[in-house]
């Protein structure tokens, strides 16, 4: 092994993360692993890390992501249960390495073997065919009749559509997802763009909904709250889970806004958050409130159409001034003096402040609750909203807001809006499959 190989093998492992069913929680913690660097493009990665199970609808997109990686490359799968076998991932994955969630040492070892030549690089998963099957067709070889026939280089040509000023401008269709790193895992959007302005947006088919032959959905990141619908649960445990959820979401939002170092520190805080860390979250909230760049990027962005009463209950509605919270009617919470946190800004900035305030409150409630236990009841307030048997999960209602919320926004603001809603596409899939909140 030469000097360059030895130096390269000691570098941080560039990993592109693909999250499948049940993989959201362990996938969010990859960034805090020592010696691992999560990248935003597969072209910058040496390891494709698949966390959770891929549904049939996700296998082709994951294969496309894989083939965009440069050589040498490897694929590692972290199943969410110990019973996973290589053949369970679906599709042809030559050289697939079966690992376990959180195994940073395994990722570093595979990376070192790649760069030193001890491990062969993954071959392509998809056939090597011309991406433009129209090439050579038509009188000019452009794939059709006239000067604009065909789909050049596999990309659709813009059509014409009216803009708000009454002009006819080019409108480009754009398909985003399901592994766009800034979006929640599995989210698919079909967007019509005029320049960088979203003229319309449609939520695509949910690839985590599953189909015939797919395994049942994996565990949701809100599993402790769903379990509390049917079994007794310690209030402190629920509130710690709520605080970790909100702080982990904040880490992703900070990464979106270019605050990578702070995002990493926040992700580490979320992974180790305990009852005694309330002051750290309060300090973080004060720091972010003073950030001019973050305020500029989020203030006035993502204001949702309609009135506050039209919003699904939960942090999104409370950030806009609603006071609904299922904990208000829970005897266990009444006994410790719970009162809902109500915000006053229904934009992306307000939603960030709301979740930080609720994280601080959750840590305070965890301290105050001691060993108090809540009994199974008709509703549990999850981190995205109330969970009730016989109703859909919160993300289903939040996803329905996207078309109206994104129209007429610039693309960067649209991405900020999506992230600010804290969507879980698999949660929506479970709601669609079962039609229940537990």
Quote the pLDDT of residue 377: 83
CATH 3.40.190.10, applies to 3-116: no
In the chain, what are the domain boundaries?
3-116, 223-434
Predicted confidence band of residue 132 (pLDDT cuts 50, 70, 90)? low
Query: CA angle, corner 186, sides to 427 and 385, nearest 5?
Result: 30
Q: Using DSSP, how many helices (H) and how many strands (E) does the chain show? A: 16, 13
Closest CA to 303 of 408, 183, 398, 405: 405
At residue 153, does pLDDT exceed 60?
Answer: no
Q: What is the DSSP letter of 185?
A: T
- The predicted model scores a pTM of 0.90
Predicted confidence band of residue 227 (pLDDT cuts 50, 70, 90)? very high
Q: Rounded CA gap, 283 and 326, in Å?
A: 28
Predicted confidence band of residue 11 (pLDDT cuts 50, 70, 90)? confident
Q: What is the mean pLDDT of residues 274-282?
A: 93
At residue 437, does pLDDT exceed 50?
Answer: no
Phi, psi of 284 (to 5 degrees): -65, -40
Predicted confidence band of residue 324 (pLDDT cuts 50, 70, 90)? very high
Q: What is the mean pLDDT of residues 207-211?
A: 80
Quote the pLDDT of residue 256: 94
Quote the pLDDT of residue 81: 76
CATH 1.10.645.10, applies to 223-434: yes
At residue 24, does pLDDT exceed 70?
Answer: yes
Six-digit token string for 417: 């809006």
Quote the pLDDT of residue 6: 67
User: Which residues, other chains included, contact 234 with Cβ-Cβ below 8 Å and sequence gap of 6+?
Assistant: 369, 371, 372, 373, 374
Residue pLDDT, tens place only, 390-427: 888 899 999 999 999 999 999 999 999 999 999 999 99
One-letter-per-residue 3-state SS of 126-137 = CCCCCCCCCCCC
Quote the pLDDT of residue 84: 64
Provide long-range contacts, Cβ within 8 A and 24+ apart, for 65-69: 65/16, 65/18, 65/179, 66/42, 66/122, 66/124, 66/125, 67/124, 67/125, 67/126, 68/41, 68/42, 68/43, 69/16, 69/42, 69/43, 69/45, 69/122
Q: Rounded CA gap, 18 and 227, in Å?
A: 27
Residue pLDDT, tens place only, 34-51: 999 999 999 999 999 999
Q: What is the mean pLDDT of the chain?
A: 88
Q: Rounded CA gap, 302 and 350, in Å?
A: 10
Query: CA angle, corner 237, sides to 234 and 239, nearest 5?
Result: 110
Q: What is the mean pLDDT of residues 144-164?
A: 59
Quote the pLDDT of residue 169: 75
Quote the pLDDT of residue 358: 98
Quote the pLDDT of residue 433: 39
Q: What is the mean pLDDT of residues 355-384?
A: 95
Quote the pLDDT of residue 436: 40
Quote the pLDDT of residue 134: 65
Q: What is the mean pLDDT of residues 111-116?
A: 92
Predicted confidence band of residue 158 (pLDDT cuts 50, 70, 90)? low
Residues of the chain with pLDDT > 90: what percent?
69
Q: Rounded CA gap, 182 and 39, in Å?
A: 11
Q: What is the mean pLDDT of residues 145-167?
A: 60
At residue 371, does pLDDT exceed 90?
Answer: yes
At residue 76, does pLDDT exceed 90?
Answer: yes
Give how far Cα 320 sits from Cα of 333, 342, 392, 435, Å: 23, 8, 22, 27
Quote the pLDDT of residue 435: 40
Predicted confidence band of residue 351 (pLDDT cuts 50, 70, 90)? very high
Q: What is the mean pLDDT of residues 82-102?
A: 80
Burial of 386 (0-12, 13-18, 19+ CB in 10 A): buried
At residue 438, does pLDDT exceed 50?
Answer: no
Q: Rounded CA gap, 384 and 396, in Å?
A: 11
Task: For residue 236, give the H/E element and its range.
Answer: helix 235-256
Q: What is the mean pLDDT of residues 89-104?
A: 87
Quote the pLDDT of residue 165: 67
């Amino acid at each position: 092994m030469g000097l360059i190989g030895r130096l390269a093998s000691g570098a941080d492992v560039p990993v592109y993360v693909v999250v499948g069913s049940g993989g959201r929680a362990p996938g969010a913690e990859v960034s805090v692993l020592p010696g691992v660097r999560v990248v935003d493009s597969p072209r910058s990665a040496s390891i494709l890390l698949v966390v959770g199970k891929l549904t049939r609808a996700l296998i082709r997109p994951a294969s496309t992501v894989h083939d965009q990686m440069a050589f040498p490359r490897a694929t590692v799968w972290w199943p969410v249960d110990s019973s996973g076998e290589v053949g369970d991932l679906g599709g042809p994955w030559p050289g697939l390495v079966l690992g376990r969630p959180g195994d940073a040492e395994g990722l570093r070892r595979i990376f070192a073997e790649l760069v030193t030549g001890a491990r062969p690089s993954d071959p392509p998963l998809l056939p090597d065919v011309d991406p433009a099957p129209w090439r050579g067709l038509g009188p000019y070889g452009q794939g059709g009749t006239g000067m604009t026939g065909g789909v050049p280089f596999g990309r659709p040509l813009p059509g014409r559509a009216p803009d708000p000023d009454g002009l006819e401008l080019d409108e480009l269709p754009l398909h985003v997802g399901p592994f766009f790193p800034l979006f929640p895992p599995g989210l698919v959007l079909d967007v019509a763009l005029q320049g960088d302005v979203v003229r319309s947006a449609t939520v695509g088919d949910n690839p985590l909904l599953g189909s015939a032959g797919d395994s049942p959905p994996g565990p949701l990141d809100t599993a402790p709250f769903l379990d509390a619908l049917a079994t007794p649960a310690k209030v402190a445990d629920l509130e710690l889970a709520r605080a970790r959820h909100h702080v982990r979401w904040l880490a992703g939002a900070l990464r979106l806004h270019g605050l990578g170092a702070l995002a990493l520190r926040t992700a580490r805080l979320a992974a180790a958050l305990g009852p005694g860390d309330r002051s750290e979250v309060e300090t973080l909230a004060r720091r972010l409130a003073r950030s001019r760049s973050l305020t500029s990027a989020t203030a006035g962005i993502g204001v949702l159409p309609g009135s506050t009463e039209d919003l699904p209950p939960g942090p999104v509605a409370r950030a806009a001034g609603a006071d609904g919270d299922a904990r208000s009617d829970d005897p266990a919470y009444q006994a410790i003096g719970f009162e809902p946190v109500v915000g006053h800004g229904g934009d992306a900035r307000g939603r960030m402040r709301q979740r930080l305030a609720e994280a601080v409150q959750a840590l305070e409630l965890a301290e105050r609750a001691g060993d108090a236990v809540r009994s199974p009841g008709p509703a549990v307030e999850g981190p995205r909203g109330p969970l009730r048997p016989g109703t859909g999960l919160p993300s289903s209602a939040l996803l329905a807001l996207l078309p109206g919320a994104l129209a007429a926004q610039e693309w960067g603001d649209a991405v900020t809006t999506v992230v600010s809603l804290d969507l879980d596409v698999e949660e929506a899939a479970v709601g669609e499959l079962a039609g229940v909140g537990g």
